[in-house]
């Protein structure tokens, strides 16, 4: 199956400033892909080239089977785009704004009102359909923006910083809505954001984008393995009581070919091994007569992966969002 987005060596400069530098990216149908990077990284410029709203200096952007530069009208018919700054007619109701947008998109007049009401319900705005858009909260405006994207029944939706300005509960509800739409309707979603944890909650794969360059793509386990594989696998085992024969424990596990190190602190044993050998570690402890209370393995989150790429490629420390 052909990718729904296929970018090859995409470049864009403004004077001496390189906004996007040889961007290569494939996004498959039905996935939620997170384009993650700090403000000014080139994410929005990349999106504008995908939509045919900005011409690349070189390279190509094939979106929904069409060249975005040569055939931008067809791309716009199949792609729904929600920018970071939404604009509505404040004197119109939410439903009237949506109906107006449907007409601008050339949808069949006879079904516009019915479809608009259906979409308003889908995004959770049924009760607020007849309220003026000027009375909508930030979260409600984001939902109305999503409704304007969905009314045209796109094959792909692109969301640029969709959680900007939302409170924690609003973020949670919006991301849950995106995930449910993907699962129920098979939508493909490209979500651009600088919020690590928002991307981690909802995306199947992520791309780390810094200074116009796509540094890495993949799901979290893949990125984690690429970055931290050389540091070994960290396994933590908690015993029911403090072991007395510490030297015996260390001597036993040091003979394992996968063994790197073992730190013992009270009832807690921290193993570092070249690969996942949890069953082998448990068997070894049981053979020594130890009673095990809990076992866990270190999982690297997107914040650690993101910071590692900054450290590795730019020597910058990313500015994390506030808790």
Pairing mode of beta strands 188-193, 32-36: parallel
The residues spanned by each domain of the chain are 5-218, 232-297
Does the pLDDT of residue 210 top 70, yes or no?
yes
What residues contact residue 139 under an 8 Å CB cut-off, 6+ apart? 166, 167, 170, 173, 174
Does the pLDDT of residue 146 top 70, yes or no?
yes
Please state which CATH number belongs to domain 232-297.
3.30.70.2470
Burial class (CB in 10 A: 0-12, 13-18, 19+), 153: middle
pLDDT, average across residues 153-171: 89
CA 125, CA 122: separation in Å to the nearest integer?
8
Report percent pLDDT > 90 for the chain: 62
Does the pLDDT of residue 318 top 80, yes or no?
no
CA 27, CA 46: separation in Å to the nearest integer?
14
Which tens digit of pLDDT belongs to each residue from 24-77?
Answer: 999 999 999 999 888 888 999 999 999 999 999 999 999 999 999 999 999 999
Does the pLDDT of residue 315 top 50, yes or no?
no
Does the pLDDT of residue 292 top 90, yes or no?
yes
CB atoms within 10 A of CB 174: 22
Confidence of residue 166 (pLDDT cuts 50, 70, 90): confident
Please state which CATH number belongs to domain 5-218.
3.40.50.300
- According to the 3-state scheme, what is the secondary structure of 220-289? HHHHHHHHHHHHCEEEEEEECCCCCCHHHHHHHHHCCCCEEEEEEECCEEEEEECCCCHHHHHHHHHHCC
Which tens digit of pLDDT belongs to each residue from 174-208?
Answer: 899 899 988 888 889 999 988 877 787 889 999 98
pLDDT of residue 165: 81
CA 167, CA 41: separation in Å to the nearest integer?
24
Judged by phi (left if over 0) then psi (alpha if -120 to 50, else beta), residue 13 lies in beta
Q: What is the DSSP string of 131-167?
A: SBGGG--HHHHHHHHHHHHHTT--SEEEEESTTTT--
Output the six-digit token pair for 78: 């199949």
Contact 73, 94 (CB under 8 A): no
What residues contact residue 294 under an 8 Å CB cut-off, 6+ apart? 237, 238
Does the pLDDT of residue 323 top 90, yes or no?
no
Bridge partners of residue 132, in order along the sequence: 93
Contact 4, 64 (CB under 8 A): yes
Question: Of residues 220 and 105, which shows the higher confidence score?
Answer: 105
For the whole model, what pTM was predicted?
A: 0.75
pLDDT, average across residues 143-161: 93
CA 264, CA 273: separation in Å to the nearest integer?
15
Contact 250, 234 (CB under 8 A): no
Burial class (CB in 10 A: 0-12, 13-18, 19+), 319: exposed
Hey, is 209 helix, strand or coil?
strand
pLDDT of residue 105: 85
Mean pLDDT of the residues in the chain: 88
């Amino acid at each position: 199956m052909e990718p729904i987005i296929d970018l090859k060596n995409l470049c864009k400069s403004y004077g001496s400033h390189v906004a996007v530098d040889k961007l290569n990216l494939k996004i498959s149908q039905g996935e939620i892909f997170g384009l993650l990077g700090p403000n000014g990284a080139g994410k929005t410029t990349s999106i504008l080239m995908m939509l045919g709203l900005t011409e690349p200096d070189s390279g190509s952007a094939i979106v929904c089977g069409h060249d975005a530069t040569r055939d931008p009208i067809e791309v716009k018919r199949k792609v729904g785009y929600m920018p970071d700054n939404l604009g509505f007619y404040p004197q119109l109701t939410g439903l009237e704004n949506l109906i107006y947008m449907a007409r601008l998109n050339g949808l069949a007049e006879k079904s516009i009102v019915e479809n608009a009401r259906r979409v308003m319900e889908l995004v959770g705005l049924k009760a607020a359909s007849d309220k003026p858009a000027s009375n909508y909260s930030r979260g409600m405006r984001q939902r109305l923006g999503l409704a304007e994207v969905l009314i045209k029944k796109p094959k792909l939706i692109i969301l640029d910083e969709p959680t900007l300005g939302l409170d924690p509960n609003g973020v949670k509800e919006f991301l849950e809505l995106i995930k449910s739409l993907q699962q129920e309707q098979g939508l493909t979603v490209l979500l651009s954001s600088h919020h690590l944890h928002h991307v981690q909650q909802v995306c199947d794969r992520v791309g780390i984008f810094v200074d116009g360059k796509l540094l890495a793509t993949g799901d979290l386990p893949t990125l984690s393995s690429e970055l931290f594989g050389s540091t070994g696998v960290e396994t933590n085992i908690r015993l029911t009581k403090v072991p007395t024969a510490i030297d015996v424990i260390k001597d036993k596990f040091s003979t394992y070919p996968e063994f790197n190190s073992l730190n013992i602190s009270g009832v807690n044993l921290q193993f570092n091994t070249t690969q996942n050998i949890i069953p082998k570690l448990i068997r070894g402890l049981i053979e020594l007569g130890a009673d095990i209370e809990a076992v866990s393995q270190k999982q690297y989150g997107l914040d650690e992966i993101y910071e590692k790429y900054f450290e590795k490629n730019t020597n910058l420390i990313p500015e994390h969002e506030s808790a």
